[in-house]
Amino acid sequence: MTEFVVGLVFMVIGVLAIAGAIFSDRTSRNPKTWIIVVGVFCVLAAGAGVWQSLYQSVPTKSEGVVTSYGKVIGTPYGPGRHFMAPWKTLNIVQDTIQSDTFFQSNGTGPDVQTPRGISGYCIPVRLAGLSQGCLDVQMQSQVRASAIPELYANYSSYGPSLTLDIDQYVVQRELKTVLNRPPLSDYNVIQDVANSLSACVAKGQTDCTANTSSQFSQFDPEVLQALQNDPQLKGKIDILDVNLQFPHFDDATEGAIRKIQTSYLETVAAKQQEQTNIAISTANAALVKTGQGLTPAVLQYDCYQVIQAAIKAGYSGLPATLSCGGGNSNVLVNGK
């Protein structure tokens, strides 16, 4: 608008200069000629400027929202040059994909808005059984071009970048809401860990852990679907991907998980010791059958093997004065 008005002013000045020179009563022709030449140049230059001001450009991966005296009108313009009446304004809005990261490692400070998206702290969630946690989340979203005029009318006064403002005040708000609803709000992590480790015991697995981070990946499709169907986002903002990466639990939940893990390890050690004892008994029975007999030396050797197996399994119930005979086997117990 400013360029258009300035151009018109110069055109008027040029026309007045030409008219003044033509109708002047001066007798000298040279000054008139120069005034007319300068006036024509001003008119042509101003006309070119006015014409140029009527065209505005929309860059790649952007949409142009048309406003007239502050009111949003018409449909958005895609990338390229567009003819625009002087009383209309073309407002550029980027519609690039936003990649947000909410990680505990980002720190507890305020969210940082970057051209690629938001970088913020992990998102607090409440789980079943009064457990609480903070969830590392990655998410990608993109504003729909057809919804940009409505979003511009509602959020354009928030800051210099409409895309970032929508990401912060709309998408992030709905993400936090969905993460604190089912299925996550119905998920009992303590019960899940207990069931998982009990299944490991039943299967004879000895290397299971209470690491539940991978279990949260099962919720990715459900959370994504919930966001895509969210009435505040559907038809306006496309949620392209959600990745629940790692849960950080509160102290009470972590303590309960550690107790379950410790119980599992003790059960595994006891079963291993039981298997060792069975193997020794089987071996002794084989000795008797072969006629070698259970001599004191054999029994003392078997006792050493049992003690060594208990030590390797981390069994802490061996008495300090335990002896297999000869008065020296207690050294094995103390010499862990």
Do 177 and 239 belong together in one domain? yes
Do 103 and 220 belong together in one domain? yes
Phi, psi of 90 (to 5 degrees): -100, 115
In a domain? residue 58? no
Residues 32-43: what's their mean pLDDT? Answer: 71
Do the beta carbons of residue 76 and residue 82 sit within 8 Å?
no
Residues 149-155: what's their mean pLDDT? Answer: 89
Tens digit of pLDDT for each residue in 269-287? 888 877 777 777 776 666 6
In a domain? residue 148? yes
In a domain? residue 93? no
What is the percent of the chain where pLDDT is above 90? 30
Do the beta carbons of residue 143 and residue 171 sit within 8 Å?
no
Do the beta carbons of residue 244 and residue 180 sit within 8 Å?
no
- Residue that terminates a domain, selected from 188, 219, 249: 249
Which tokens belong to 145? 């071009």
pLDDT in the model for residue 119: 94
Q: How would you class 262 by CB atoms within 10 Å of its CB: exposed for 0-12, middle for 13-18, buried for 19 or more?
A: exposed
In a domain? residue 76? no
Does this model's pTM top 0.75? My answer is no
Query: What three-state secondary structure class fits 123?
Result: strand
In a domain? residue 91? no
In a domain? residue 196? yes
Do 115 and 242 belong together in one domain? yes
Query: Total domain count for the chain?
Result: 3
Residues 228-255: what's their mean pLDDT? Answer: 93
161-165, long-range: CB within 8 Å, 24+ apart, which pairs?
161/94, 161/113, 162/93, 162/94, 163/93, 163/94, 163/95, 163/96, 163/98, 164/98, 164/113, 164/118
Task: Answer yes or no: is pLDDT of 110 > 70.
Answer: yes
Do 159 and 209 belong together in one domain? yes
Tens digit of pLDDT for each residue in 43-83? 777 777 777 778 888 998 888 899 888 888 888 898 999 98
In a domain? residue 283? yes
Do 243 and 287 belong together in one domain? no
Do the beta carbons of residue 238 and residue 144 sit within 8 Å?
yes
Query: What three-state secondary structure class fits 177?
Result: helix
> What element of type H or E holds 3?
helix 2-22
Residues 97-118: what's their mean pLDDT? Answer: 91
pLDDT in the model for residue 9: 72
Residues 237-264: what's their mean pLDDT? Answer: 92
Do 165 and 222 belong together in one domain? yes
Do 41 and 106 belong together in one domain? no
pLDDT in the model for residue 178: 96
In angstroms, the CA 171 to CA 151 distance is 12
In a domain? residue 201? yes
Tens digit of pLDDT for each residue in 162-199? 888 899 889 999 999 999 999 999 999 998 899 888 88
Do 242 and 288 belong together in one domain? no
Q: Domain range holding 39?
A: 1-53
pLDDT in the model for residue 334: 45
> Which residues pair with residue 150 across a beta bridge?
none
